[in-house]
Structure 1
């Protein structure tokens, strides 16, 4: 990708080229150097270090636009595998998404090998294991952005609405119940999985609560967010269109 004249990031083949030009930066402080691209097929260590949380978010927005417009998929996977295998990985973001087959982050954001860390669990909730993984991704591995990605027509949310009991799934659904209880009636008084507007409203509330839980339960990530070293944001995928709506952005 490279930064176009309109300031947005655009893909150049399968490359992630993050050319950054800051007008007047010399007068405002130390000049931020232009990001070089060591391996055109992948995110390099230098690019990852220089990218800001807001730029990382823009990369995802641009990737989703390509996905929904049918302009994505220009990835040289063999080259990306070879480069990351040889030189290591430098993901610019971490994404927590549902296991839903329509919600794969690398697809909906048109990403290549080595671009992001991806944690997937029904209902896109966070638990201690996922929090630890996100702490590693941000504090140790240098990811600049954390996204909690929910989606419409979520089966886990439907199960939570209906208080489904099924083996280990029961405990997972209990983590979504606070979102059910915090969501007002939408689309009528039916608060079950049969009320689709209510289900989607609960899914969005679940994203908001998960973002807050992440910041409440991880002092490491909360401190990084307060220092603006990372950004934590929620998002909702519309499975009918493939479009991702970022919340509070």
Structure 2
């Protein structure tokens, strides 16, 4: 199994290929890989990303079948089911790298900002559960800069939410915390740009 730093470099290089339009994955290779994967899997990275249809991790990082263990949820929020999925992958496959990947212009972030600035009584309780998980990380930003049309506020909120999710993974699970402390796991935060296709690994990259 690759080290966390090797896995991170592999993602960086894959994203560079994606941005340049030089993807390496071919249909023939994927068919061969599919047959090999019947016996098991060994993903080199775990990705907790947003459900947004514009941010498919395998394409963004130019990876194929069996390379990434991907968990997607609106707003890349952390709930028990997400933590359990990451614990499973880290323990079962020995995967050394977890990436919490948000993206620019995130709808879940905007919905949370809207709720903080203009509360709605009739919001779906299921959607509210997502908003409530995002709220603590961005509420201080809204209090400091309450302008509803502030693009800078949205950008800072996206990153604050990514940092909060990464921190929750590091300290909200005894299993993951022990793996991080022992150097067996690295958890980093990243933001995907819808405009450029680039992924910026901006949080936790010096750890591990």
Question: TM > 0.5 between the two?
Answer: yes
Aligned pairs for 1:206-221 within 5 A: 206-221=161-176
Indicate if the aligned counterparts of 1:153 and 1:196 stay in contact, CA closer than 8 A. no
Can you give the 5+ residue segments of structure 2 that lack an aligned partner in the other structure?
none
Match of 2:72 among 117, 120, 125: 120
CA shift, 1:141, in A, is 1.7
**Other structure's SS at 1:173 match:** helix
**Other structure's SS at 1:214 match:** helix
* Runs of 4 or more above 4 Å deviation: none
Query: Which residue does the alignment assign to 1:21?
Result: none
1:174-214 alpha-carbon deviations (Å, 9 max, x no partner): 1001122133679x641x3x322211210100000111111
Indicate if the aligned counterparts of 1:154 and 1:200 stay in contact, CA closer than 8 A. no
Tell me, yes or no, if structure 1 residue 139 matches structure 2 residue 97. Answer: no
Aligned pairs for 1:177-216 within 5 A: 177-183=135-141, 189-190=146-147, 192=148, 194-216=149-171
Higher helix share: 2
Indicate if the aligned counterparts of 1:98 and 1:122 stay in contact, CA closer than 8 A. yes
Query: Which residue does the alignment assign to 1:238?
Result: 193
1:68-116 alpha-carbon deviations (Å, 9 max, x no partner): 011014332111111101x311101100000111111101000100001
The structure with the larger Rg is: 1
User: Could you state the TM-score of these two structures normalised by the residue count of structure 1?
Assistant: 0.75
Aligned pairs for 1:88-167 within 5 A: 88-163=40-115, 165-167=123-125
Separation of aligned partners in 2, 1:126 and 1:95: 12
Indicate if the aligned counterparts of 2:45 and 2:95 stay in contact, CA closer than 8 A. yes
User: Could you state the TM-score of these two structures normalised by the residue count of structure 2?
Assistant: 0.89
Separation of aligned partners in 2, 1:210 and 1:146: 11
RMSD after superposition: 1.5
**Other structure's SS at 1:153 match:** coil
Query: Which residue does the alignment assign to 2:35?
Result: 82
Can you give the 5+ residue segments of structure 1 that lack an aligned partner in the other structure?
1-47
Aligned length: 196
